[in-house]
Amino acid sequence: MLRSIRSEALKVVTTRAWWILAIVLFGYIALFAGGMAALFGTISDQADALGPGSSIPPLVYSFATSVGYVFPLLFGALATTTEFRHQTLTPTFLATPRRGEVLGSKVIVGAAWGAIFGVVGIVATVGVGGLILALVGVDPLLDSTDTWALLGRMVLAMALWGVIGVGLGVLVPNQVASIVIVLAFTQFVEPTLRIAAAFWEWSAEVGRFLPGAASDALVGSSFFTSLSAGGGANLLEWWQGGLVLAGYAVVFIVSGALTTWRRDVT
Amino acid sequence: MTGAVIEIQGLTKRFGRTTAVDDLTFRVEPGVVTGFLGPNGAGKTTTLRALLGLVRATSGTASFDGRSYTELGDPLRTVGTALEAASFHPGRSGRDHLRVAAAAAGIPTGRADEVIEWVGLGSAARRRVGGYSLGMRQRLGLAFALLGDPGVLVLDEPINGLDPEGIRWIRGFLRSLAAEGRTVLVSSHLLSEVQQTVDRVVIISRGRLVYQGTLDGLESGPGRVRVDAADRAALADAVTAAGGSIELAHDGLHVSGLDAEAVGRAALAAGVVLSLLVPEKEGLEDVFLELVGEGGIR
């Protein structure tokens, strides 16, 4: 198993996708967090408008996950679909014929790189966003254990998104289809569903279990939930959010393992 | 080194309604180069993929010394494989491709550098595979096969895309691998391509075995004699009188039913001066084509 994990990690670092994604993630999140930090910082007198008890730094920091989760998701999906697309499953399965072992290694590597993306996103939000907050006179709260717990949960969320990406890639081996699903779902379908779900009580109950909502619950702070009516009240507990997110990962991986992963490699 | 015996037993593979491999049974021994021949679409690649655990057989077994590929503890160290659709990530360098496989098999990185040098890709090792020519990919595929210094080599169409110098090199290389006691199975859709390299052949057509044995055994078709003279009419009469049947061709008369000596005697008796007298065996390629039927080559 260790050999297979090493091989999978080597596959990641010997191609360019991961650091291109990491650079884009950093730039994108730094821009978001920096801009929002400047905006909120200057209107901090009215910050209470964002919801009771919400404070600005966690909100800015959590952009790394609330906006950035698409990156580990995309990374994980690419990591598996690339093997189908370039038919590299042949050498992969020749070297490691026990396919479950290969998939397990991909899960571990997907989680590891998801966590790396989490750290990159945090460097962007805390580095750029925190700096700007400090500059405009808002306490960046970096001496607070709550802040560090938040950052830890963000890394965990990103790791889980990496695994979900791997699962999606196994379930939908067509690379283009997989990418379209990731982008459409994260940028359009889920945001729309979450807004729509908030209208009725029963749908709000269901909406909490959407993957993005579960992820925000796990992190415990998100720009989107703060904006929506009722603030974070609709979210699950952080550990429940984590379990729901992990549940998605397990369902995707297992159903992929039982279908496309078992197929003939021709 | 003694390579494992490859044993295919009653192997059948259906894709939906198509039967790609149909109750195929053959054996490949170590120490010789065995050619695995058949026209395109005969089921060669499917057979090899089933042997390597990439394709699940509908029925039957394929094994190395009795163990299936997935049961091998250290597959890359036991069996080296280069499949036709050599599959590489275009953004990864040749060397990195081997490093990825080496890591999975617990083979030191130094060995990757060694084999890539061996197949003549040393200077291109750090370039991305996307820029490789077909011949270079073939060589990289071969390097992948050699990575674990395996006792068994399974090579699907390894000569495809190689330049003449590369073809000569790989022929010598395969023979030396077999001489070391390894089991070498080489597939091809052209007999002429492997004729000088292989000792034994397994020929399939439409998923079924049509011949298994030595090349010499394949060659023992009925012979014919090519003969010519300035006075072809007289020669034709003499040969027919002696009991031979003739066929007029651009390069002389093709005589069947008589051996070269009998043709010579007939000509001598009739006082015809021969300008040509050549005993010919039926071409291997012809025998091969006959065996595989209209399966397609041409």
A162-176, B60-74, B172-186, B240-254: lowest mean pLDDT where? B240-254
Nearest-CA distance B294 → chain A (Å):
25
B104 to A86: CB separation less than 8 angstroms, yes or no: no
A7 to B100: CB separation less than 8 angstroms, yes or no: yes
pLDDT recorded at residue B30: 95
Q: Looking at the domain assignment, is residue B294 inside a domain? A: no
Residue B189 banded pLDDT, cuts 50, 70, 90? confident
pLDDT recorded at residue A230: 47
A90 to B99: CB separation less than 8 angstroms, yes or no: no
Nearest-CA distance B116 → chain A (Å):
16
Number of CB pairs, chain A paired with chain B, less than 8 A apart: 82
In chain A, residues with a C-beta closer than 8 Å to the C-beta of B87 are 86-91
Closest chain B residue to the Cα of A89, Cα to Cα: B87
Closest chain B residue to the Cα of A14, Cα to Cα: B92
Same domain, B105 and B253: no
Q: Does B137 touch chain A (CB under 8 A)?
A: no
The per-residue pLDDT for range A84-120, each reduced to its tens digit, is: 999 999 999 999 999 999 999 999 999 999 999 999 9
pLDDT recorded at residue A52: 44
Q: Looking at the domain assignment, is residue B297 inside a domain? A: no
C-alpha B251, offset from chain centre: 30
Q: Looking at the domain assignment, is residue B290 inside a domain? A: no
Overall average pLDDT of the B227-238 stretch: 88
Structure tokens at A256: 């992929």
Same domain, B121 and B151: yes
In chain B, residues with a C-beta closer than 8 Å to the C-beta of A4 are 104
Same domain, B209 and B238: no
Q: Does B85 touch chain A (CB under 8 A)?
A: yes
pLDDT recorded at residue B296: 44
Same domain, B47 and B102: yes
Same domain, B154 and B273: no
Residue B98's CATH number: 3.40.50.300
B92 to A14: CB separation less than 8 angstroms, yes or no: yes
Overall average pLDDT of the B237-263 stretch: 85
C-alpha B141, offset from chain centre: 17
Same domain, B194 and B232: no
A3 to B105: CB separation less than 8 angstroms, yes or no: yes
- Residue B298 clears pLDDT 50, i.e. is over it: no
Overall average pLDDT of the B17-22 stretch: 92
Partner residue opposite B103 with nearest CB, options A3, A16, A17? A3
Q: Does A19 touch chain B (CB under 8 A)?
A: no
Residue B40 banded pLDDT, cuts 50, 70, 90? confident
Nearest to A84 by CA among A172, A160, A196: A172
Residue B252's CATH number: 3.30.70
B87 to A90: CB separation less than 8 angstroms, yes or no: yes
pLDDT recorded at residue B295: 47
- Cα distance between the two ends of chain B: 40
Average predicted confidence (pLDDT) for chain A: 88
Residue A81 banded pLDDT, cuts 50, 70, 90? very high
B54 to A10: CB separation less than 8 angstroms, yes or no: no
Same domain, B128 and B247: no
- Residue B177 clears pLDDT 70, i.e. is over it: yes
Q: Looking at the domain assignment, is residue B178 inside a domain? A: yes
Q: Does A96 touch chain B (CB under 8 A)?
A: yes
**Which H or E element spans position B98?**
helix B94-105
Q: Domain extents for chain A?
A: 2-262
A174-178, A180-184, A209-213: lowest mean pLDDT where? A209-213
Same domain, B190 and B239: no
Q: Does B144 touch chain A (CB under 8 A)?
A: yes
Closest chain A residue to the Cα of B147, Cα to Cα: A95
Closest chain A residue to the Cα of B77, Cα to Cα: A95
- Residue A47 clears pLDDT 60, i.e. is over it: no
> Residue A92: is it exposed, middle or buried by C-beta count within 10 angstroms (0-12/13-18/19+)?
buried
pLDDT recorded at residue B48: 95
Selection from A145-154, B223-232, B282-291 with the highest mean pLDDT: A145-154
Overall average pLDDT of the B4-22 stretch: 94
Q: Does A153 touch chain B (CB under 8 A)?
A: no
Same domain, B28 and B88: yes
Cα–Cα dist B203/B219, whole Å: 14
Partner residue opposite A15 with nearest CB, options B76, B92, B144? B92
Closest chain B residue to the Cα of A11, Cα to Cα: B100
Helix (H/G/I), strand (E/B), else coil: B54: coil
B104 to A95: CB separation less than 8 angstroms, yes or no: yes
Residue B294 banded pLDDT, cuts 50, 70, 90? low
pLDDT recorded at residue B282: 67
In chain B, residues with a C-beta closer than 8 Å to the C-beta of A90 are 54, 83, 85, 87
Cα–Cα dist B128/B122, whole Å: 13
Residue A229 banded pLDDT, cuts 50, 70, 90? very low
- Residue A186 clears pLDDT 70, i.e. is over it: yes
Q: How many domains does chain B have?
A: 2
Q: Within a 10 A sphere around the Cβ of B185, how many other Cβ atoms?
A: 25
Same domain, B276 and B163: no
Nearest-CA distance B100 → chain A (Å):
5
pLDDT recorded at residue B225: 86
Chain B stretch 15-74, residues whose beta carbon is closer than 8 A to a beta carbon of chain A: 45-46, 49, 52-56, 69-70, 72
> Residue B44: is it exposed, middle or buried by C-beta count within 10 angstroms (0-12/13-18/19+)?
buried
Global ipTM: 0.88
Length of chain A: 266
Same domain, B236 and B153: no
Q: Percentage of chain B surpassing pLDDT 90?
A: 55
pLDDT recorded at residue B143: 94
Same domain, B155 and B16: yes
β B59-64/B33-37 pair status: unpaired
In chain A, residues with a C-beta closer than 8 Å to the C-beta of B97 are 91
Which domain covers residue B274, as residue numbers? 224-280
- Residue A180 clears pLDDT 80, i.e. is over it: yes
pLDDT recorded at residue A266: 83
Nearest-CA distance A173 → chain B (Å):
16
Residue A234 banded pLDDT, cuts 50, 70, 90? low
What CA–CA distances, in Å, run from A106 to A18, A50, A111, B133, B275? Answer: 14, 40, 8, 30, 74
Nearest-CA distance B158 → chain A (Å):
16
The per-residue pLDDT for range B126-138, each reduced to its tens digit, is: 999 999 998 899 9
In chain B, residues with a C-beta closer than 8 Å to the C-beta of A10 are 96, 99-100, 103
pLDDT recorded at residue A231: 47
In chain A, residues with a C-beta closer than 8 Å to the C-beta of B83 are 90
Q: Given B166, B188, B219, which residue is the final one in a domain?
A: B219
